[in-house]
């Protein structure tokens, strides 16, 4: 290096330090080191090899002025000039490389070589090496400035590596956070966490759906202030116990949410640990309401099946003696010698026997429904037949039926089963208006060109809203004891469903009741 260049070296090194300190991109940093080697030190070539710790070899990180075959090979620690410099941590100046038995080929026709260690935080991380085809191209005076630049470069490289590692860790943590967020959003379980002060720290999408409370309205709020009913349900006590003991807990409960809905839930409470200390609780909420309802339905179905089998047996056994009783009563009524009270008694026997036969018939229909036979059916004609059948009963009670029949297209149906439905609905309507007086109306219409609708309405006392689904439950009845079996509407709804239709009810207390049978065309 020329003397005038050495005079300008101190300001150059200061600028080099500032430039290297401001660069955090490793590739850009290595290119800056090479540019400085060429412009400031006026080297015709330079190569930087850095240690690969896992294999303890020096690998080329950057170079200029070297052929590809000289850059590509790796150098073992201790091999050649650069390997010895790395191993000892001291610079090496060679005036004639031909005298070295372990010279690693560099530039073509090399004679002199200078290599200095790159030391950062008392640790050698690599080597900077320059060569020349001239002998005595480098002197002892070149070593200190090159060592200074190498040290600055080493520290800058370490900082760039640390930045790259930090950026990689940040990216990994960001990806991990996004992955965890996707899991929490996608899982079909409600998951939330609280800290040691029972402040909500996370709240997933499923919890929003189950509670009706958005994440923004939950996170950061005290759990028991936001959901005070959890204290009454024992959740607050359980969470505090998990915080105190650090042991998971689980429970089942009937929970009423903020909408007032009663839901059946399973909850698992697990401690959140930080270096062995419990710092919070994660709560996993599984809503099993639908599962419980399905299980209840299965149990109820099994009960009904057993009741059906029992009912069929009872109905079969009592039908024969009832037939004998009815026949005997009819014969006795023909006797002219019967006293009035005797005739009245025989009439009562026949009436009660007929009622028992009707009950037995209902039980048989409930337990052993007949096979359906569908055919082209005129619904208005079916209703006409039904009205003729019940006319006597309605006239006896001084009840009139208002009829309003539209022209209907034929439907595929079993007319006998539909007659059973309409007879039941009309008898129920008659019983509803019998005591309080009122009217009954029957109407038909086409709906949307796809369905036909039969409406049986009465102006009776109506049905309370809480009972409007119960009336279709087997053995449920609002009639006086002895007047109903509680099977009529249950059987009617099943018969309508067998026709792919719907049996609907609309009623307001004091304003009457409307039953609608909707069937597909």
Asked if residue 380 and residue 453 are part of one domain, the reply reads yes
Residue 180 domain-assigned (yes or no): no
pLDDT score for 296: 66
Identify the CATH number of the domain in which residue 195 sits.
Answer: 3.30.450.20
User: Does residue 3 have a pLDDT over 60?
Assistant: no
Lowest model confidence (mean pLDDT) among 44-53, 118-127, 195-204, 489-498: 489-498
- CA 275, 277, 278: angle at the middle one, nearest 5? 125
CA gap 459, 461 in Å, rounded? 7
User: Does residue 346 have a pLDDT over 80?
Assistant: no
Residue 130 domain-assigned (yes or no): yes
Q: Tokens representing 23?
A: 């660069």
Terminal CA-CA length for the chain: 104
pLDDT score for 78: 92
Asked if residue 421 and residue 515 are part of one domain, the reply reads yes
pLDDT in tens, 446-500: 988 889 999 998 888 887 777 767 777 765 565 554 455 556 777 788 888 888 8
Residue 395 domain-assigned (yes or no): yes
Asked if residue 308 and residue 225 are part of one domain, the reply reads no
Torsion of CA 336, 342, 348, 351, to 10 degrees: -20
User: Does residue 239 have a pLDDT over 50?
Assistant: yes
Asked if residue 140 and residue 17 are part of one domain, the reply reads yes
Residue 212 domain-assigned (yes or no): yes
Asked if residue 407 and residue 272 are part of one domain, the reply reads no
Question: Strand 46-52 relative to strand 57-64: parallel, antiparallel, unpaired?
Answer: antiparallel
Residue 379 domain-assigned (yes or no): yes
User: Does residue 10 have a pLDDT over 50?
Assistant: yes
Asked if residue 438 and residue 409 are part of one domain, the reply reads yes
In total, how many domains does the chain have?
4
CA gap 329, 315 in Å, rounded? 20
Asked if residue 354 and residue 478 are part of one domain, the reply reads no
Identify the CATH number of the domain in which residue 448 sits.
Answer: 3.30.565.10
Q: Domain boundary at 271, 287, 303, which? A: 287
Q: What residues make up the domain containing 407?
A: 375-520
The larger pLDDT score, comparing residue 180 to residue 90, is at 90
Q: Domain boundary at 226, 256, 287, which? A: 287
Report in angstroms the alpha-carbon separations of 104 from 69, 79, 95, 101, 317. 11, 8, 15, 9, 111
The larger pLDDT score, comparing residue 377 to residue 16, is at 377
Please give the average per-residue pLDDT across 82-105, as a whole number.
91
Q: Nearest Cα to 47, choosing from 93, 116, 112?
A: 116
User: Does residue 302 have a pLDDT over 80?
Assistant: no
CA gap 252, 243 in Å, rounded? 20
Round the average pLDDT of the chain to a whole number and report it.
Answer: 81
Considering the chain, what percentage of its residues have pLDDT values greater than 70?
81
pLDDT score for 184: 65
pLDDT in tens, 253-293: 877 777 777 778 888 999 988 888 899 999 988 887 777 76
CA gap 71, 63 in Å, rounded? 7
Radius of gyration of the chain (CA): 48
User: Does residue 107 have a pLDDT over 60?
Assistant: yes
pLDDT score for 306: 64
In eight-state DSSP terms, residue 85 is H
Asked if residue 403 and residue 383 are part of one domain, the reply reads yes
Residue 419 domain-assigned (yes or no): yes
User: Does residue 152 have a pLDDT over 60?
Assistant: yes
Residue 182 domain-assigned (yes or no): no
Q: How confident is the model at residue 2 (pLDDT cuts 50, 70, 90)?
A: very low
For the sheet with 440-447, list strands across it.
Answer: 401-405, 440-447, 451-458, 513-520, 502-507
For 381-390, the CB contacts below 8 A with 24+ separation are: 382/413, 382/415, 382/418, 382/419, 382/422, 383/422, 383/442, 383/444, 383/454, 385/415, 385/419, 386/419, 386/422, 386/423, 386/426, 387/426, 387/442, 389/419, 389/423, 390/423, 390/426, 390/427, 390/430
pLDDT score for 93: 94
Q: How confident is the model at residue 207 (pLDDT cuts 50, 70, 90)?
A: confident
In this structure, the chain runs to a length of 521
Considering the chain, what percentage of its residues have pLDDT values greater than 90?
20
pLDDT score for 271: 92
Give just the sign of the alpha carbon dihedral 24, 28, 30, 33.
negative
Identify the CATH number of the domain in which residue 105 sits.
Answer: 3.30.450.40
Asked if residue 350 and residue 299 are part of one domain, the reply reads yes
Cβ atoms of 426 and 386 within 8 Å: the answer is yes
Please give the average per-residue pLDDT across 427-444, as a whole number.
82
Asked if residue 421 and residue 275 are part of one domain, the reply reads no
pLDDT score for 309: 66
Residue 178 domain-assigned (yes or no): no
pLDDT score for 127: 94
Q: Tokens representing 227?
A: 């959901």
pLDDT score for 6: 52
pLDDT score for 88: 93
Asked if residue 449 and residue 432 are part of one domain, the reply reads yes
Please give the average per-residue pLDDT across 359-369, as a whole number.
57
Q: How confident is the model at residue 67 (pLDDT cuts 50, 70, 90)?
A: very high
| Helix/strand/coil (H/E/C) assignment for every residue in 197-214 | CCEEEEECHHHHHHHCCC
For 220-224, the CB contacts below 8 A with 24+ separation are: 222/197, 222/198, 223/194, 223/198, 223/199, 224/198
User: Does residue 92 have a pLDDT over 90?
Assistant: yes
pLDDT score for 185: 67
Asked if residue 484 and residue 448 are part of one domain, the reply reads yes
CA gap 514, 316 in Å, rounded? 35
Identify the CATH number of the domain in which residue 321 sits.
Answer: 1.10.287
Q: Domain boundary at 344, 367, 390, which? A: 367
What global pTM score does this model have?
A: 0.39
User: Does residue 114 have a pLDDT over 90?
Assistant: yes
Q: How confident is the model at residue 113 (pLDDT cuts 50, 70, 90)?
A: very high
Hey, which of 142-146, 367-371, 469-473 has the most confident mean pLDDT? Answer: 142-146
Q: How confident is the model at residue 84 (pLDDT cuts 50, 70, 90)?
A: very high
Cβ atoms of 222 and 198 within 8 Å: the answer is yes
Please give the average per-residue pLDDT across 406-426, as a whole number.
86
Q: How confident is the model at residue 250 (pLDDT cuts 50, 70, 90)?
A: confident
């Amino acid at each position: 290096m020329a003397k005038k260049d050495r005079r300008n070296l101190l300001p150059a090194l200061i600028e080099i330090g500032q430039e290297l300190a401001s660069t955090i991109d490793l590739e850009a940093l290595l290119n800056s080191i090479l540019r400085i080697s060429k412009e400031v030190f006026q080297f015709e070539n330079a190569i930087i090899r850095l240690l690969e710790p896992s294999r303890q070899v020096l690998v080329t990180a950057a170079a200029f002025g070297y052929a590809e075959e000289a850059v590509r090979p790796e150098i073992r620690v201790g091999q050649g000039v650069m390997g010895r410099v790395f191993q000892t941590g001291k610079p090496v100046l060679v005036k004639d490389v031909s005298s070295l038995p372990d010279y690693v080929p560099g530039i073509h026709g090399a004679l002199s070589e200078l290599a200095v260690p790159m030391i950062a935080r008392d640790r050698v991380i690599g080597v900077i090496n320059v060569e020349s085809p001239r002998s005595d191209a480098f002197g002892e005076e070149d070593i200190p400035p090159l060592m200074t630049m190498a040290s600055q470069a080493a520290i800058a490289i370490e900082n760039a590596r640390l930045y790259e590692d930090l950026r990689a860790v940040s990216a990994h943590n960001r990806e991990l956070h996004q992955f965890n967020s996707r899991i929490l959003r996608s899982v079909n379980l409600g998951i939330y966490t609280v800290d040691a002060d029972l402040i909500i720290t996370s709240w997933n999408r499923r919890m929003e759906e189950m509670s009706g409370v958005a994440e923004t309205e939950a996170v950061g709020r005290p759990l028991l202030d936001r959901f005070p009913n959890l204290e009454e349900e024992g959740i607050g006590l359980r969470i505090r116990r998990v915080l105190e003991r650090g042991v998971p807990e689980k429970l089942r409960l009937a929970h009423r949410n903020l909408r007032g809905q009663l839901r059946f839930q399973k909850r698992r409470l697990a401690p959140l640990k930080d270096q062995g200390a419990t710092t919070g609780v994660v709560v996993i909420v599984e809503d099993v309401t639908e599962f419980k309802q399905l299980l209840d339905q299965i149990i109820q179905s099994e009960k009904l099946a057993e009741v059906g089998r029992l009912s069929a047996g009872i109905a079969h056994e009592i039908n024969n003696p009832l037939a004998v009783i009815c026949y005997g009563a009819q014969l006795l009524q023909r006797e002219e010698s019967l006293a009035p009270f005797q005739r009245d008694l025989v009439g009562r026997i026949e009436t009660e026997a007929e009622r028992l036969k009707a009950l037995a018939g209902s039980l048989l229909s409930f337990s052993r429904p007949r096979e359906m036979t569908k055919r082209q059916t005129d619904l208005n004609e079916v209703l006409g037949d039904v009205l003729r059948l019940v006319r006597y009963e309605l006239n006896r009670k001084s009840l009139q039926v208002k009829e309003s029949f539209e022209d209907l297209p034929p439907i595929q149906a079993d007319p006998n089963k539909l007659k059973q439905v309409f007879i039941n609905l009309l008898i129920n309507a008659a019983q509803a208006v019998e005591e309080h007086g009122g009217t009954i109306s029957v109407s038909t219409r086409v709906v949307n060109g796809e369905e036909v609708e039969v409406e049986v309405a009465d102006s009776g006392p109506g049905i309370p809203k809480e009972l409007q689904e119960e009336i279709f439950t087997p053995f449920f009845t609002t009639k006086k004891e002895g007047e109903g079996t509680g099977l009529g509407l249950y059987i009617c709804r099943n018969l309508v469903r067998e026709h792919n239709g719907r049996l609907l009810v609309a009623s307001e207390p004091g304003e009457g009741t409307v039953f609608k049978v909707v069937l597909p065309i």
